[in-house]
A = this chain, B = another copy of it.
């Protein structure tokens, strides 16, 4: 029982009674104040919609709500159940996995509404951000970046550190996204000198011109989130974490809980990649491409998992993770005319690359680079996201009027105003540049945030108490520990 008691013993340095409530209260109050100053209902969600609808001869069905809400709910499930339960696979850190995911996503989506609002939806006349269902979907997307980073840190950081990771993660995300996508502002700039002036002063014109397409976020979500988490984890290297090795693993039922997460992520990924794609064919195509790519990933992940085991057995880690790599890599290209067999090929390769990563690359990185990546986000998000970004560049560069049709090409690539004459090769180049921007933001931002988190005030557990809910959760007494005396 000695080992047992030690595990149950109190850890002074994980005392959260002041810092966690303080962070939650202060930041939540800040959110209320900032929402009060900036956030208002958009025209489709405020009561004057009835008048607006009458005046513009619209029906209620034209409200964007009906186009996007079903996809939104799927995305929402991915963020909270998908990511949350995927991280319950550790035998003694399941509460932390699903619980901290819940906490930081709930904070993150509020902060994202503000950050993304300031960059994308700020009405410079009134100084307000007008929100609707699309902002809400984007806020969930924005959280995904920080949740991915959480995957690398799982079991090794305190909830307060995770809040800090989220605060900076959302901030970096919004800036990076602005640079890469730069969607709404541009049209504003073309309409009004006054706004153009304000905006161009801050961001030089060259960046504005990126204007990439990335509906499912291979670049801005997965690639950024992956490298962000890896950089933080690298800075926070724990040399003696082998002392917690007995807890850094799953048991039979914790792996089943994780499969709930995997399956909801897998099933709803088509909605993720299509949620903010163009109405009509855009959403329809994004959904078909992702659906197909994911199916293909499953088969190659299974094949490699079996091949890499000396007796041909399957490893739950690969089934839980590598099966999703096709969805990650299709994030940028899903709305393009990549063709159904193209999607199959992407899924095929990603299942292989990702499983290979779990078997060889993660142990290699841990040994040589001192990079500890609990969930293997390097193989599920960073690399497939990066490849997805470059793939998007190639697919965009190859786009032609023959395939898309004249109107279709304009529609898919938003070739309007200033960008009407941009060649497809140029667009491809910008897409590739966007991917590099995402990597750079992730690595540099993550390194800085990692340094901040190294300050010894955040209440993270000692190396021999990682991967243990005991540190931050009131745990129920277990029957196993009660029964023996009875026997």
The interface of chain A, by Cβ under 8 A from chain B, is 1-4, 10, 15-18, 20-21, 24-25, 27-29, 31-33, 35-36, 39-41, 44-51, 53-54, 60-67, 69-71, 73-74, 76-77, 80-81, 84-85, 88, 91, 94-95, 98-99, 102-103, 106-107, 109-110, 131-133, 136, 159, 249-253, 255-257, 259-260, 263-264, 266-268, 271, 279-281, 283-285, 287-288, 291-292, 294-296, 298-300, 302-304, 306-307, 309-316, 319, 323, 337, 339-341, 344-345, 348, 403-409, 411-412, 472-480, 483-484, 486-487
Number of copies: 3
User: Within the assembled complex, what's the spacing in Å between the Cα atoms of A106 and B322?
Assistant: 14
Instruction: Give the interface SS of chain A, mostly helix, strand, loop or mixed.
Output: helix
Find chain B residues with CB under 8 A from A32 CB: 296, 341, 344-345, 348
Known: A80-B267, A98-B259, A267-B81. A473 touches B314 (CB 8 A): yes
Whether the Cβ atoms of A299 and B103 lie closer than 8 Å is yes
Whether the Cβ atoms of B271 and A73 lie closer than 8 Å is yes
Smallest distance from the beta carbon of A460 to chain B beta carbons, Å? 14
Q: Which 5 interchain pairs have the tightest Cβ spacing?
A: A17-B312, A47-B408, A49-B281, A60-B280, A24-B303
Known: A256-B257, A473-B313. A50 touches B407 (CB 8 A): yes
Smallest distance from the beta carbon of A273 to chain B beta carbons, Å? 13
Known: A107-B299, A344-B31. A16 touches B306 (CB 8 A): yes
Whether the Cβ atoms of A263 and B80 lie closer than 8 Å is yes
User: Within the assembled complex, what's the spacing in Å between the Cα atoms of A76 and B271?
Assistant: 12
Whether the Cβ atoms of A65 and B283 lie closer than 8 Å is yes
User: Within the assembled complex, what's the spacing in Å between the Cα atoms of A315 and B408?
Assistant: 54
Whether the Cβ atoms of A309 and B80 lie closer than 8 Å is no
Find chain B residues with CB under 8 A from A291 CB: 109, 136
Closest residue of chain B to A471 (Cβ to Cβ) is B313
Whether the Cβ atoms of B107 and A295 lie closer than 8 Å is yes
Whether the Cβ atoms of B63 and A280 lie closer than 8 Å is yes
